[in-house]
Amino acid sequence: MSERFDLSREALASGELSPHLQAAHAAGLIRLLPDDEREANRRATLAGHPAGEDLHVFGFGSLMWNPACDVAESVPALVRGWSRRFNLWLHLGRGTAKFPGLSLGLEPGGSCRGLALRIEAAKIESETRLIWRREMLAGAYIPIWVGADLGGRTAPAISFAINPDYFRYARRVPFDVQARHIGRAEGPLGPCIEYLERTVETLERVGRRRGPMHDLLKAAREERRRHLAAAAAR
């Protein structure tokens, strides 16, 4: 497996991940967005946000449990009109080109429970730069504005939908295929199943104790059990 690295605030801020990403880009595993294009995208997305007001970012996957940015508050939130799906093949991070993992992205339809991360107004510039470095490094996602129901009020929030034109978009992956890849794939960020486990753990903390992610985790754990047993027997 490739050298292990962490998706931390320090790594994002320092450029520590750049050699890994540049090597992956050269190998055709990802397509990195140029820095100026990513920055233009960030500024265009934030253009309508009122000056001096705090910003909410809706997390539905790893942003819930590893935002890697300075969050003043995180509260349970429901977004209608979008749902989370494992719809991005990972040839880096939690998978390899030989056996890719899967990551979550929002797609139109349904609803999604997650966390609304509040970023203080004075820190929006610095913290969204970090968020764009992690979520928009390769153009796999499209930033969107959603209405986050915070339980009593609705706040506009930025989130990230899958880009259906991206070359690693995973359209409608069958349940058993998802379970196999999530259960068995590993990469520099660790086993893919850890990503799903931590997502489910966070959903349970906000009151979502049953659902599609729970069913998928059960199947992925069985896949991993069989995979590790077969490896030990060889």
| Active-site residue, 194 included | no
Q: Of the residues 127, 135, 186, 223, which is catalytic? A: 135
C-alpha span between 234 and 229 (Å, rounded) = 9
**CB neighbour class for 107 (10 Å; exposed up to 12, middle 13-18, buried from 19):** middle
Strands (E), the chain: 55-59, 73-90, 101-119, 141-149, 154-162, 186-187, 190-191
CA atoms lying within 13 Å on the CB side of residue 211: 19
Are the C-beta atoms of residues 59 and 113 closer than 8 Å to each other?
no
* Buried residues in 136-162 as b, exposed as e (16+ CB within 10 A): bbbbbbbbbebbbbbeeeebebbbbbb
Residue 220, H or E segment: helix 212-233
Amino acid type, 124: I
Q: Which residues does residue 74 pair with via DSSP β-bridges, in sequence order?
A: 117
**Catalytic center residues:** 135
